Amino acid sequence: MATSRDSNTPSRDRRVRRTRTALARALLDLAEKQDLSQISVSDVAEHAGVSRTAFYDHYRDVHALAEAACTAMIDNLIESLPSPGPGSPDPTREGTQSLTAFFASLAQHTGLYRSLLGPQGSARVADHIRRRITAAIHNRVHQAATGELPQPSGSTPDMPHDVLSAFAAGALIGVAADWLQRGCPQTPAQMAALTWPLLNSLYRVDTDAPA
């Protein structure tokens, strides 16, 4: 016979999901209009229609909510990243197409990413994005070189220290942040055409280096 606690678990899980979804949507809405540093817990709670207590039941602060709320979008961005280095029959075409999708995804949420990656943004969220992109680039280059399937992009604890992937991820975030802060003066396709040769050259140099 199910206990009262057991019978209430599905209902509680649904409430938790609804509250977290409401908080995430509220933060995304607010971040389109103002810098992340200017958004308070009270702002998010009020916009989501929940209490401050309910907010703290799920997140320690706005930055923790931002990291959770942006995970799905970050994963989508990572899916659009190219695989530099050998292994593609037409690397320039595939690389520029992938980077165009990456910058287009940023442009769809310009206010949010400008807030997150700008000078008044979240260092924790920026580091979260950097680590996931580093792992994604490392895994994709490894797959291109060996044919082995990559680990999930978030699986970083066992990843070896990969200077090139870390450098590429940091450079890509820096370029994206500068582009966003300047109001996206170039189109995503133009940004891709400018960025791909720089990104790919890192791995071409490494491949051509003497053993």
116-154 pLDDT tens trace: 888 878 788 888 888 888 888 888 777 777 766 555 544
Per-residue pLDDT of 178-190, as tens digits, reads 999 999 999 999 9
CA-wise closest residue to 101 among 123, 117, 78, 122: 78
* Tens-place pLDDT, residues 25-49: 999 899 888 888 889 999 999 999 9
Torsions phi, psi of 27, nearest 5? Answer: -65, -45
Mean pLDDT in residue range 200-206: 67
- The pTM for the full model equals 0.72
Distances (CA, A) of 154 to 1, 105, 136, 165, 186: 40, 19, 8, 14, 30
Residue among 168, 169, 153, 172 nearest 204 (CA): 168
